[in-house]
């Protein structure tokens, strides 16, 4: 798959936190605030493993933390430019996040990117099984009448690349650090969305179906 072939695709699904936003999530601090002892365990799986009342209390705390973080973040450099270009070429754009849709909408409003997305193209942890499960991508593509081979999944973390692989889309890893820890899972790797926007400006879109 060439970079050009990836960039020419018409359906773009983005991770939100740390991809469209500047990263502010300190996941180790979040885990400890939720009483988790394992440093790299999956937060949503941990909550799902607790008795209902305890899970509800800690989930409420998680939501508080997520709102605090939303207040601190900003749009990632190049995000608006990239989304402008995508919409100008009639691409479909959506968001698949392990956050909630409500917090995602709040965050997008906060960072000035809300106008690019319809609310039904934003799937959170209550609309689909969390990444890396492919259900979220499958639901967006079913709603759009589109196929995985017309689609790109863009994200900053392992789950974003894994979910793209699981759903059969192309994957783009955005990693400010330049470390690119999962090269086998990324079809394209960029340091910023600005870099992606520049590359996209040179790619001819696929013809509409
Ligand atoms: Mg992320």
Q: What is the mean pLDDT of residues 79-105?
A: 96
Does pLDDT of 205 surpass 80? no
Does pLDDT of 209 surpass 60? no
Which residues neighbour 199 within 8 Å (Cβ) at sequence distance 6 or greater?
Answer: 3, 7, 190
Give me the domain span that covers residue 150. Answer: 3-22+74-201
Of 173, 169, 172, 91, the residue nearest 83 (C-alpha) = 91
171 - beta bridge partners?
Answer: 153
Q: Are residues 58 and 120 in the same domain?
A: no
Query: Is 134 a domain residue?
Result: yes
Q: Are residues 108 and 56 in the same domain?
A: no
> How far apart are the CA of 161 and the centre of ligand 1, in A?
11
> How far apart are the CA of 189 and the centre of ligand 1, in A?
15
Q: Write down the pLDDT at residue 99.
A: 93
Does pLDDT of 82 surpass 90? yes
pTM listed for this prediction: 0.91
H or E element at residue 201? helix 193-201
Q: Write down the pLDDT at residue 207.
A: 65
CA 173, 176, 181, 183 dihedral sign is positive
Neighbours of ion ligand 1 (CB under 5 A): 15, 17-18, 156-157
> How far apart are the CA of 25 and the centre of ligand 1, in A?
9
CA distance 114 to 75: 11
Spatial contact of 170 and 188, defined as CB atoms under 8 Å apart = yes
Q: Are residues 164 and 145 in the same domain?
A: yes
Q: Write down the pLDDT at residue 18.
A: 94
Q: Write down the pLDDT at residue 208.
A: 57
120 - beta bridge partners?
Answer: none
Q: Are residues 58 and 113 in the same domain?
A: no
Q: Write down the pLDDT at residue 28.
A: 86
């Amino acid at each position: 798959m060439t970079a050009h072939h990836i960039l020419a695709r018409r359906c773009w699904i983005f991770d939100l936190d740390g991809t469209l936003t500047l990263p502010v999530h300190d996941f180790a601090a979040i885990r400890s605030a939720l009483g988790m002892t394992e440093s790299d365990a999956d937060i949503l799986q941990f909550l799902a493993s607790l008795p209902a009342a305890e899970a509800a209390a800690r989930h409420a705390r998680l939501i508080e933390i997520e709102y605090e973080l939303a207040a601190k973040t900003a749009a990632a450099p190049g995000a608006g430019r990239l989304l402008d270009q995508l919409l100008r070429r009639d691409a479909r754009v959506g968001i698949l996040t392990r956050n909630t849709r409500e917090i995602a909408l709040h965050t997008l409003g906060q960072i000035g990117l809300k106008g690019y997305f319809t609310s039904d193209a934003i799937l959170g942890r209550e609309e689909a099984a969390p990444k890396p499960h492919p259900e979220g991508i499958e639901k967006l593509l079913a709603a759009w009448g589109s196929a995985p081979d017309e689609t790109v999944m863009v994200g900053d973390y392992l789950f974003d690349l894994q979910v793209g692989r699981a759903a059969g889309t192309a994957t783009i890893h955005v990693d400010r650090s330049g470390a690119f820890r999962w090269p086998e899972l990324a079809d394209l790797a960029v340091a910023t969305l600005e870099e992606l926007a520049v590359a996209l400006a040179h790619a001819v879109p696929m013809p509409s179906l």
